[in-house]
Amino acid sequence: MMKISAARRALLVGVAFAAILATGAFAADKPTMGIVVKIGGIPWFNAMEAGIKETGAKDGVDATMIGPTSADPSLQVRAIEDLIAKKVTVIGVVPNDEKALEPVLQKAREAGIKVVAHEGPGIQNKDWDFELASAKGFGEAHAELLAKTVGGKGEYAVYVGSLTVPLHNAWADAAVAYLKANYPNMKPVGDRYGVAENVDDSRKTALDLISAHPDLKGFLAFGSQGPIGAGRAIEEKGDVGKVFVVGPFSPGQGRKLIKEGAILGGFMWNPAEAGRVFVRVGKLLAAGEEIKDGMMIEGLGVVHPDPKTHNIITDNLLQIDKDTVDKLADLGL
């Protein structure tokens, strides 16, 4: 066996130790971020994941998206618990139920983890929430589109992702209030329906409502699967051009339906851009930077953060219609 001198052994140990330190320093310089969204495997969040991965790789952030198998708040809680155990630098979340997440997000912050929310302006245990659309403007834009199309008369149904998604319900509140004030001859049918994160549930509910309400003129569908399901139901019923669907949806998923007239259109923001903003804001927080009024954040523009609510609200709406759907879909949305 070859003998190694004491001097050489000391040198090798020193080199190995230096390598370990260097690796540790590099890892410490690269923040880790886990982003828990409402549900995995649907086009909207697939696009968001692409934005997260792209910007994470570009900006030196080890960023991962976690998409639960269903829109169950308990699955989001479990995913956040796992991220706390992994001691990530930043946790991002698109909540299904803000209140259900408060205890686990408090736990994350007590562990020194930064928290960034999106579509969760009411969350208390966060560092910042960012929005690419104001709730009032988003709801009213959809309400006006539907009202103009149906001539300001008739019944309409309201979809949300679930009755516990605060932002969807804020959009619905704004839309309903706008129609009540400006189009008094338009009336909602029943309560709002928490089906818009599931295509099959949205379709079945639409079929039932169309059958039960002969004067039904449209759907305000807040939740990316709501317009798709309602549009399919309208096609099945042969009601294209008679009943209209407006709401946010993935252009790639709804391209065929909008061209056939089963979906009228709607407004959206770019979920891939939201994914990029998650990483950019997370990186700022990980570096200890303060988000200030007048700061430029790529994807949001010049921001005016609210220091009381810790919300950053911007208006970056994109219109989805027959003229824009191909272009948006070709962007991977």
Give the model confidence (pLDDT) of 45-85 as tens digits: 999 999 999 999 999 999 999 999 999 999 999 999 999 99
- Burial environment of residue 243 by CB neighbours within 10 A (0 to 12, 13 to 18, 19 or more): buried
> Could you tell me if 139 and 219 lie in one domain?
yes
The rounded Cα 173 to chain-centroid distance in angstroms is 19
pLDDT for residue 29: 77
For residue 24, pLDDT beyond 80: no
Does residue 248 share a domain with residue 278?
A: no
Q: Identify the CA nearest to 173 among candidates 129, 131, 220, 205.
A: 220
Strand partners, 66: 36
pLDDT at 26 over 80: no
Q: Is residue 81 part of a domain?
A: yes
What mean pLDDT do residues 21-31 have?
Answer: 53
Q: Does residue 27 carry a pLDDT above 80?
A: no
Give tens-digit pLDDT for 244-299: 999 999 999 999 999 999 999 999 999 999 999 999 999 999 999 999 999 999 99
Residue 9 included in any domain? no
* Cα 178 from Cα 156, distance rounded (Å): 13
Q: What is the mean pLDDT of residues 109-132?
A: 97
Give the model confidence (pLDDT) of 165-183 as tens digits: 989 999 999 999 999 999 9
The domain tally of the chain equals 2
Q: Answer yes or no: do 285 and 258 share one domain.
A: no
Question: Does residue 264 share a domain with residue 275?
Answer: no
Residue 4 has pLDDT above 70, yes or no: no
DSSP 253: H
Domain that holds residue 200: 135-268
Q: Is the domain of 232 the same as that of 176?
A: yes
- Residue 35 belongs to a domain with what CATH number? 3.40.50.2300
Say if residue 122 is in the same domain as residue 206: no
pLDDT value, residue 7: 45
126 and 242: one domain?
no
Same domain, 143 and 259: yes
Q: Among 74-78, 227-231, 313-317, whose mean pLDDT is lowest?
A: 313-317
- pLDDT of 13 above 80: no
Strand ordering across the sheet containing 216-221: 186-188, 154-159, 216-221, 244-246
Q: What is the pTM of this model?
A: 0.78
